[in-house]
């Protein structure tokens, strides 16, 4: 990028605000995994830009990273907007081998618990009932998911039971593979999959497709 007035090259983020999640090569993981780009550049002995290019060439990968760009004030401001729904684009993975060896974002384990614990109970950004709406019926309606998002006769029986006084996220950027606390029971399609915080082994989930799926043209070859 360039500054439009001065024509001076600029960066989208400061190297200290870029955390390198991991590499394909174990040798690079041992040296740099979980470190900020500013620290890696000092260890590498070059500028942040040169260091990143060297690492991309050495690892032959895109190198996953976390960018700390948004302020806490902006997070709270967005959460206060009534039309903002809550989600997570992270995968659902267990806290066990071999998954705990892979880098991930703390939202993998704590996205919804963080909202309920930090922003609802502690920060009081919104009421508990409003938070539930933003995580259930609002996104289900936006995505046009049929018979999902609310406890209604004829809908799929997806129900979660949690303790609002104790629910909280434990995952951090440095130690992301940590389960949240306070989630007691989960029922998927009417079958219990979480019992007093323990997985029952049941897997009654199914693929959910939005309205766009019906408009896809399927071609058999």
- Render pLDDT for 27-85 as a digit per residue (tens, 0 to 9): 998 899 889 999 999 999 999 999 999 999 999 988 889 999 899 999 999 999 999 99
Read off φ and ψ for residue 137, nearest 5 degrees: -65, -35
State whether the Cα torsion 24-30-31-32 is positive or negative: positive
Q: Examine the pLDDT at 217 and tell me if it is beyond 90.
A: no
| In the chain, % of residues over pLDDT 70 | 91
The per-residue pLDDT for 1 is 34
Q: In terms of Cα–Cα distance, which of 50, 27, 24 is closest to 37?
A: 50
Supply the mean pLDDT for the chain.
88
Classify burial at 162, counting beta carbons within 10 Å of its beta carbon; exposed 0-12, middle 13-18, buried 19 or more: buried
Q: How confident is the model at residue 208 (pLDDT cuts 50, 70, 90)?
A: confident
Measured between alpha carbons, how far is residue 127 from residues 16, 159, 183 in Å? 35, 19, 18
Asked whether the beta carbons of 158 and 187 are under 8 A apart, the reply is: yes
């Amino acid at each position: 990028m360039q500054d439009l007035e001065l024509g001076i090259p600029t960066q989208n983020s400061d190297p200290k605000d870029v955390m390198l999640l991991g590499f394909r090569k174990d040798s690079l993981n041992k040296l740099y995994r979980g470190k900020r780009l500013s620290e890696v550049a000092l260890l590498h002995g070059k500028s942040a830009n040169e260091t990143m290019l060297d690492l991309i060439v050495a690892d032959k990968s895109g190198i996953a990273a976390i960018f700390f760009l948004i302020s806490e004030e902006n997070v709270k401001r967005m959460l206060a907007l009534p039309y903002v729904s809550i989600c997570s684009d992270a995968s659902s993975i267990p806290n066990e081998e071999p998954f705990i060896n892979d880098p991930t974002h703390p939202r993998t384990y704590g996205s919804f618990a963080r909202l309920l614990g930090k922003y609802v109970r502690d920060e009081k950004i919104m009421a508990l009932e409003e938070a539930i709406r933003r995580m259930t019926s609002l996104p289900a309606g936006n995505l046009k998911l049929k018979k999902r998002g609310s406890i209604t006769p004829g809908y799929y029986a997806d129900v979660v039971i949690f303790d609002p006084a104790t629910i909280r996220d434990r995952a951090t950027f440095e130690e992301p593979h940590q389960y949240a606390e306070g989630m007691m029971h989960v029922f998927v399609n009417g079958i219990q999959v979480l019992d007093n915080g323990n997985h029952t082994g049941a897997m009654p989930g199914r693929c959910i497709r939005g309205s766009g799926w019906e408009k896809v043209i399927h071609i058999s070859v």
